[in-house]
Amino acid sequence: MITRVLIDTDPGIDDAVALLYALATPRIEVLGITTVAGNIGLDRTTSNARRILALMGREDIPVHAGAAGPLSRSGIEVADIHGMDGLGGVEFPAPGAKAGDDAVAFLVETLMREPASDIVLMVLGPMTNIARLFRENPLAARRVGRIIAMGGAIRDAGNMGPRSEFNMAADPEAADIVLGSGLPIVLIPLDVTRQVRATLDDCARLSAAGTPQAVYSARLIEAYFRSTSASDASSRPLHDPCVMLMATHRELFRLEAMGLSVDLGTSPDAGALSPESSRMLVLTATEVEGRAAVEHLIAGLS
């Protein structure tokens, strides 16, 4: 079965690997990409998305720039992880096709044109564009079949504050709108994504595979190892590819329905998630077959 998707992203090293996998696998049809400021500024995330499409010969897929910052806060940058270009210094081909400049309008147009509930919205970065979609055109938003998003931490420690994860911390108000929307949502938190880890041996296997998507994924993951935040010398977590793997290999994950509230304060834990029974239920990944996930990712990229 082919999953038809719109991808909202802030590439980003792991975003780039996720995009390469989505473009390579026959199990996913990418209808369009919208970009958001997150891992790096909007101009760069948009350029990175276009460069990835150029590498894959898929510049027929539209790219539309979205929010340059959160709904109501100052933005966060993490160049120490992803590098000043967002891709760890890995050089991609220059893009030819231009990007549009209104992500929400593109989402509305696509959702209203396609059959209701047919499209899966894959969210790899801060949820700002998706929250704006709900605010500006709730009718179109209700036509989304399902949202699969990477974000949050449930029992694990955060990677921004003690309990807050980057995508949620970058725009807590947006996360609150989306998680409270009542749409079918699958959330993949750090608790699970940290179990999907690539080694340098995995990079060697990808390089040897020889396909553009495999070779560039190897370079990106190798750059991840060089980042100043690399605390584990033996492996690196592949957060955003888990969103794609949820669509193509659902059997790898265990899900639990949870009501989740979002910390909207101003402490270092802004964006932290807490179980709350009165909230809309969100299917939350709690376990994953980590090594099997990496093997499926390598196979899909090779």
250 three-state secondary structure: helix
CA atoms of 169 and 157, how far apart (whole Å): 13
Are 237 and 193 spatial neighbours (Cβ–Cβ below 8 Å)?
yes
Sequence-distant (6+) residues with CB within 8 A of 126 are 10, 36, 37, 38, 67, 70, 167, 170, 171, 174, 175
Full strand arrangement of the beta sheet holding 3-9: 63-65, 28-35, 3-9, 119-123, 144-150, 185-188, 281-288, 253-262, 273-275
- Tell me whether residue 82 is one of the annotated catalytic residues: no
Provide CB contacts within 8 A for 83, sequence distance 6+. Answer: 13, 89, 223, 227
Distances (CA, A) of 63 to 112, 193, 219, 261: 18, 26, 24, 32
> Which of the residues 64, 239, 249, 296 is marked catalytic?
239
Distance CA 88, CA 291 (A): 24
The residue among 232, 245, 291, 195 whose CA lies nearest residue 17 is 245
Which of these, 179, 288, 284, lies nearest to 241 by C-alpha position? 288
36/159 Cα distance (integer angstroms): 20
Query: What's the token pair of residue 273?
Result: 């998630």
Residues serving a catalytic function are 239
